[in-house]
Amino acid sequence: MVGIGATEFSKAAGRSETQLACEAIVAALSDAGLDASDVDGVVSYTIDPVEEAELVRAVGFQELTWSSRVPYGGAGSQATLLHAAAAVTSGAARAVVVWRAIKARSGTRFGGAAVPRSPTSAHAGTSAAQWSAPYGALTPASWIALLATRYMETFGVTNEDFGRAVVQLRAHAATNPEAHYFGRPLSLEEHQQSRWIAEPGIRRADCCQESDGAVALIVTSADEPVAAAATTPVRILAVTGSALDGHEVASDHYVPDIGDFPESRALGNRLFAQAGLGRDDVDVALVYDAFSPVLLMQLESLGFCGPGEAKDLIGDDGLAVTGVLPCNPNGGLIGEAYIHGLNLTLEAVRQLRGTAANQVPAARTALVAATRSGVLLGT
Amino acid sequence: MTTTGAPAALRAEPARPGPVVTQDNAAFWEAARQRQLMVQQCRRCQQRYHPPRPMCPSCHSTDLGLLACSGRATIHSWTAVHYPQSPRFSYPAIVVVVELEEGVRLVSGLVDAQPSDVRIGLPVTVDFLDVEDGAVLPVFRLER
């Protein structure tokens, strides 16, 4: 990964998603020392509204030989790197831009209560429009809450346990100038006074942001001159996707145990086997915290602890940069911003370069996981 | 369970939204309109499943029928939705995942209940709620 770029993260960008994407891409090109004419591949994922043709026209790419999109929304966000890696290692492209541009607050609100009229989810991986919406479960929070209640009941986990994770994420955000909650930590008492979104699992403070902004990443093969010349090269050690029979994204209500994430377990097992690494080798974990319950559920399914044990791993400081598992040191999607998961990848690269706001000391290996896609990055 | 002979059908005002009907799920919603809870069942291998699909994943038959369900189920999970609010629902809206006696899982709504009444494992029975455009939703109520 030779280049990273981003816009500011805000609640009202005041410009189009296409412009946000262009700005992030140009920043990533500058970071990599590449020109637009060096880029011959582009990858994004579903729900991104930017047209490839508009990007080509605005950024000035000369010829694209690779263009692809990953399904499953943010859950598939990390598989953009699988597409990019497949392109550059096969020779189908030499330099691939991965982007996500979003106006989830000033545009179509991701947490809004609109009644869906389309039976499909635009490849986001959910059938909730058909089966949950007629009952008033209109938002990802309400679909995930059904999983959270089952998880809480199975393992004796409480909303206060979720709150202890949120307090740590907000502490990270409070010292990250890029974060929405910069300078605004949250106490456990304040978390417990936060209003219910979907009882008994999810309060307002348990939800990720709705954000405006864009992130871009540039991938080449390791033997490209631009990669060889990088002072702090970041390598893709392993990358994979995982979509299992019968599973949906967020509205996973029909599988045998809805308080479990077997796709995330399969994902973690394959990543660590591919890279020949163990969980102990992870210096910093970036885990898709769309809602705080799924952070705990993923820490378990990824193998950092046993089922029901994430609350003990997290404790009061388990996720801190000096904790047992430094996690989402940018504040995560809850504390920093919701760029549909790609800001977690951005943070992983910053950690491995040693340039993060809340730097994990000597971070050499980073995991980014989003239930249906994940990547292990190393220096 | 049917409401034949009942004094009046349940009706929500203002009209709650109906389901998004597709070629693949139409049979389920048509049965609901007839106040029948029916789930998809393969006529060849007898597998049953939900949500409905155009092909049986066990035997690849497209000859799919419907199984009439007893309407008895248990609560597998639940949530009380408080916010954000659509004017077309009343809140908190209790949403349940129920396990039908027939072994099939369904997302539905729990009517005439408060969040404090709800527990995983409680028995529930089906009822039917009239919504917009003549559509009918299977919903559930706690067994008394």
Question: A–B: how many Cβ contacts below 8 A?
Answer: 120
A254 labelled catalytic:
no
Contacts of B93 in chain A (CB under 8 A): 135-137
| Exposure string over A170-180, b if 16+ CB within 10 A, otherwise e | bbbbbebebbb
Contacts of A258 in chain B (CB under 8 A): 76-77, 97
The pLDDT score that the predictor gives to residue B6 is: 53
pLDDT at position B3: 44
The reply to whether residue B77 touches residue A117, judged by beta carbons under 8 angstroms, is: no
Which residue of the set A45, A72, A181, A338 is catalytic? A338
pLDDT of residue A228: 87
Interface test with B, best of A108, A127, A149, A297 (most B CBs within 10 A): A149
For the four alpha carbons of A54, A55, A59 and A64, in that order, the dihedral sign comes to negative
- Contact state of B80 with A198 under an 8 Å Cβ cutoff: yes
What pLDDT, on a 0 to 100 scale, did the predictor assign at position B11? Answer: 63
Residue B7 in this model has a pLDDT that exceeds 80:
no
Closest CA of chain B from A273, distance in Å: 30
A181 counts as catalytic: no
What integer pLDDT is reported at residue B15 of this predicted model?
A: 83
- pLDDT, residue A122, reads 85
Q: Do B81 and A198 touch (CB under 8 A)?
A: yes
Task: Please name the residue that has the structure tokens 């967020």.
Answer: A250
Res A233: pLDDT: 85
CB contact under 8 A, B79 and A142: yes
**pLDDT per position as a tens digit, B77-106:** 999 999 999 999 999 999 999 999 999 999
What's the CA gap between A46 and A79, in Å, rounded?
11
pLDDT given for residue B4 in this prediction: 47
Query: Does A253 sit within 8 Å of B17, measured CB to CB?
Result: no
Give me the residues of chain A with pLDDT under 70, please: none
- Please give, rounded to a whole number of angstroms, the shortest distance from the CA of B38 to a CA of chain A: 14
Predicted complex ipTM: 0.95
Q: What is the pLDDT of residue A117?
A: 81
Average pLDDT over residues B5-16: 65
